[in-house]
């Protein structure tokens, strides 16, 4: 049966439910109460309305442990044919940031869980943040995926006109074919922010133009959990009224599943899409998601460390049962939220970075146990792929990553017993929205009407005086950064990046050598002899200097450590200034 011959428009409704790995419990609970449960409750009242649903693995884990009845509710709607399940990487990674084996492994894990819990193995994929690259069809087909959803932005970048964006297209890579459904940006901004009748009029116009299939795909959280939406969607019955409107127009409008369209209709055409995402992401990332790895060296560092550990785990496949435990920790460290920043906090959220490093360190520690790795141990490799070699030093309790070609700075110190990277800090850098604070631009706080504004249109300054806190760094904030000043700097000058260095040692190449548990670094300039030593012994790291800065004039040595403290006492600035010695010991944690 060809649906296109019935003068009927098929509407595909795809909803994506996700929370970051091990997010705060109250966030899970609030999203559940304000979006997930009420949405499913109302959907159950309309058995003729079909939707497609993706639940990320991190959210699924929480639901299984805390809301078993919700799982039963969804299973019931799946069994009666109302919900079509979609898959993705289990812990919601950006697939293009993963090696091939982890792309397939994460998708296979999610599909298997869906089959075991709900009795349905997904054929389609919710593409995380709709980040597409042309090579993805190979990974998707190898993982058993037949179709995915992108935004109409992808097609527009490829030169397609709005009137061509309906139905589905076929693409391929190396002969492996995948169907692609273009999601409508109009629907993404109208559901649930416009009155249901406005959406019906849009769909009616598409039907009159002879289109047979239109796709909507977006976050389920916007239906109650996003700011100002709960009252509109549920108290004022937007969702109920929207489903009623769909039912009232069933003569020409019908909700269907993606698998039905693939089975019953021909593709609109063939397409080869460029690297792309939705329009807002393209703006945040300067037109390509991988640019986040350029803008944020901290993101690149984490992603390359994860890749490094993944390569080790992949080589240990099937050699030990504990490898599956290591792989799960690795998958959790690949959760997408920590690798970028847009409308939400993302990389700026300390708890997300802490969780990612915790699982990364646990995965690496298990892999070392399986390998029976002997310590101390070090590698010289360009792990972050910046064209310069780093020194990766591993001890029984501590890992250290040193950059000899960047002044011997330290970008990572892992304390393995607590799975903590204490150099897990961010460099202060400008963001586009800062101009609204610096120049006190007028910002919008709502839609101006009864219906709420999309979160993309809400820009509000929450605190006064934020412009005083906008200070930007001229170099990456890590640890063991060496400075030579012509005078003693004041605390505020350091904090506000106002000091001019006489010699920026952090830019220079240092010679290095490793002897057992001691690393020596040496810098020679025209009149400065500079050596520093790092020694690791059990749970203690010792930093030492030997400096000859010449006799020509007075100079001051600054040694800068940017650390993420987990101590309330040290978070107090007045108390911190009293420190004369800082010891990295087990008792410190």
Is 219 one of the catalytic residues? yes
Please count the CA atoms within 13 angstroms of the CA of 540 that sit on its side-chain side.
6
| Cα-to-chain-centroid distance, residue 269 | 32
Is 368 one of the catalytic residues? no
The DSSP letter of residue 422 is: T
Q: Which of 130, 128, 151 is nearest to 18 (CA)?
A: 128
User: 3-class SS at 171?
Assistant: strand
φ, ψ for residue 172, nearest 5 deg: -155, 160
Q: How far is CA 22 from CA 88, 139, 304, 307, in A?
A: 18, 27, 22, 21
Q: Which residues contact 92 (CB under 8 A, 6 or more apart)?
A: 18, 20, 21, 56, 57, 58, 128, 335, 336, 337
Q: How far is CA 256 from CA 161, 189, 235, 289, 441, in A?
A: 25, 21, 27, 31, 45
From CA 577, how far away is CA 42, in angstroms rounded? 57
From CA 345, how far away is CA 359, in angstroms rounded? 20
The catalytic residue among 73, 164, 172, 219 is 219
The catalytic residue among 84, 129, 152, 153 is 129
Which phi-psi region, left, alpha or beta, contains residue 159 (left: φ > 0; alpha: ψ -120 to 50)?
left
* Residues labelled catalytic: 129, 219
């Amino acid at each position: 049966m060809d649906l296109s011959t019935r003068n009927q428009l098929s509407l595909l409704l795809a909803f994506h439910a996700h929370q970051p790995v091990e997010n705060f419990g109250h966030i899970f609970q609030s999203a559940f109460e304000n979006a997930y449960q009420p949405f499913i409750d109302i959907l159950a009242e309309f058995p003729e309305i079909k939707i497609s649903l993706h639940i990320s693995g991190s959210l699924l884990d929480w639901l299984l442990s805390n809301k078993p009845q919700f799982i039963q509710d969804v299973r019931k709607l799946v069994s009666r044919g109302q919900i079509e399940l979609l898959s993705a990487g289990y812990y919601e990674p950006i697939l293009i940031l993963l090696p091939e084996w982890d792309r397939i492994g994460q998708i296979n894990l999610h599909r298997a869980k869906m089959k075991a819990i709900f009795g349905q193995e997904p054929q389609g994929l919710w593409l995380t943040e709709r980040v597409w690259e042309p090579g993805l069809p190979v990974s998707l087909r190898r993982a058993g995926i037949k179709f995915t959803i992108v935004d109409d932005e992808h097609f527009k970048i490829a030169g397609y006109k709005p009137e061509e964006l309906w139905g589905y297209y076929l693409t391929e890579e190396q002969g492996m074919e995948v169907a692609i459904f273009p999601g409508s940006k109009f629907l993404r901004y109208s559901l649930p922010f416009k009155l249901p009748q406005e959406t019906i009029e849009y769909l009616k116009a598409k039907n009159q133009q002879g289109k047979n299939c239109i796709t909507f795909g977006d976050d389920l959280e916007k239906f109650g959990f996003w700011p100002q939406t709960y009252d509109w969607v549920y108290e004022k019955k937007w969702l109920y009224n929207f489903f009623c409107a769909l039912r009232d127009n069933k003569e020409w409008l019908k909700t269907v599943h993606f698998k039905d369209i693939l089975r019953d209709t021909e593709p609109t055409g063939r397409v080869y899409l460029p690297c792309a995402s939705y329009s807002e992401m393209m703006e945040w990332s300067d037109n390509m998601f991988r640019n986040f790895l350029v803008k944020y060296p901290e993101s690149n560092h984490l992603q390359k460390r994860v890749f490094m550990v993944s390569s080790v785990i992949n080589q240990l496949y099937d050699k030990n049962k504990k490898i599956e435990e290591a792989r799960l920790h690795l998958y959790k460290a690949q959760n997408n939220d920590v690798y970028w920043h847009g409308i939400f906090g993302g990389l700026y959220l300390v708890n997300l970075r802490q969780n990612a490093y915790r699982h990364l360190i646990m995965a690496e520690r298990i892999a070392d146990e399986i390998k029976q790795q002997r310590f101390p141990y070090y590698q010289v490799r360009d792990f972050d792929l910046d064209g310069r070699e780093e020194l990766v030093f591993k001890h029984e309790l501590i890992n250290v990553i040193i950059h000899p070609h960047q002044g011997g700075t330290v970008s990572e110190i892992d304390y393995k017993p607590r799975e903590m990277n204490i150099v897990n800090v961010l460099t202060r850098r400008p963001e586009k929205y800062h101009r609204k604070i610096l120049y006190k631009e007028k910002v919008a706080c709502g839609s101006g009407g009864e219906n709420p504004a999309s979160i993309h249109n809400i820009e509000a300054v929450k605190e006064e005086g934020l412009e005083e806190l906008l200070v930007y760094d001229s170099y990456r904030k890590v640890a063991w950064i060496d400075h030579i000043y012509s005078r003693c700097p004041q605390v505020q000058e350091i904090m506000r990046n106002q000091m001019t260095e006489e010699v920026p040692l952090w830019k220079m190449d240092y010679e290095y050598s490793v002897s057992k548990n001691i690393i020596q670094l040496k810098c020679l300039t025209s009149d400065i002899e500079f050596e520093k030593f790092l020694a690791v012994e059990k749970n203690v790291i010792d930093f030492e200097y030997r400096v000859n800065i010449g006799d020509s004039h007075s100079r001051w040595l600054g040694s800068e450590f940017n650390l993420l403290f987990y101590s309330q006492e040290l978070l107090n600035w007045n108390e911190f200034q009293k420190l004369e010695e800082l010891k990295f010991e087990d008792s410190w944690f």
